Amino acid sequence: MTGPLLVIFPHPDDEAYSSAGTIIQHQKNGHPVTYVCLTLGEMGRNMGSPIFTTREELPKNRKHELEAACAVMGISDLQMWGLRDKTVEFEDEAELAARFRALIDNVKPARVISFYPGYAVHPDHEATARAVVRALQEMDATVRPEFLGVAFDHRTETELGKPHVIIEVGDEYAAKREALLAHRSQTEALLRSIDNAENAHVMELLQRERFYHYPFS
């Protein structure tokens, strides 16, 4: 896939789990990546493991973590839109879709990565997914970028089948791990458990990034 990549997620760290390897591959191949992160995840319950931050300090911490993760992934165009965490679902969907559309017209991505509506589990994820798909739906099919949707609801494979696109990111895994680790307040405990348990299933998920195309009409 050639051309710019546009990544849209509501929370810092959504990108690292689902698509850091793909992002890094795009950069390696000389294609610019724009990442729009809608909130700072300031309502998150994780404060580090062991705890190293406070409710008051969390947004600042997560902003720094996000910047550090983007530096690891080589993302030069990081846009923080400053929406409030846990409230994306209350945004006007048409308005948010219009903002995404303006962004798409500006970035002219070949590919857009975001959540897949209906299978993204968290209300902020779902609201983001709906608005992204709406923006893309309204585009002419001849100019619409490829959409790679991240779906992780437990119903995903039963209802959507196997992932439509699987991107092998084993070569990028060390950098992906570093990006995950940069989101320290959220990921430290998880990464420790992966390392300790050598959890083969989680490793497989992290090294083979999986996406679904959306059936635009």
CB of 18 to Zn ion, least distance (A): 9
For residue 126, state whether it binds Zn ion (rule: CB under 5 A).
no
Nearer to Zn ion by Cβ, of 15 and 172: the residue is 15
CB of 202 to Zn ion, least distance (A): 17
β-sheet bridge partners, residue 48: 51
For residue 15, state whether it binds Zn ion (rule: CB under 5 A).
no
Which positions ≥6 away from 94 have C-beta within 8 Å? Answer: 134
For residue 14, state whether it binds Zn ion (rule: CB under 5 A).
yes
Q: How far apart are CA 32 and CA 23, in angstroms?
A: 9
Q: Which residue has the tokens 């300090």?
A: 57
H/E segment holding residue 44? none
Chain residues 40-99 in contact with Zn ion, contact rule CB under 5 A? none
CB of 4 to Zn ion, least distance (A): 23
CB of 194 to Zn ion, least distance (A): 18
Tokens in use for 19?
Answer: 């698509």
CB of 130 to Zn ion, least distance (A): 15
Nearer to Zn ion by Cβ, of 34 and 128: the residue is 128
Q: How far is CA 214 from CA 1, 145, 147, in A?
A: 17, 11, 7
Nearest to 112 by CA among 207, 193, 23: 23
Nearer to Zn ion by Cβ, of 14 and 91: the residue is 14
For residue 11, state whether it binds Zn ion (rule: CB under 5 A).
yes
Nearest to 177 by CA among 6, 67, 16, 57: 16
Tokens in use for 138?
Answer: 């309204």
Q: Which positions from 127 to 166 touch Zn ion by CB under 5 A, shown as an x/- string?
A: ----------------------------------------
Q: Which stretch binds Zn ion (CB under 5 A): 5-13, 66-74, 165-173, 209-217?
A: 5-13
Residues in binding contact with Zn ion, number by CB under 5 A: 2
| C-beta atoms surrounding 167 within 10 Å | 17
The footprint of Zn ion (CB under 5 A) covers 11, 14
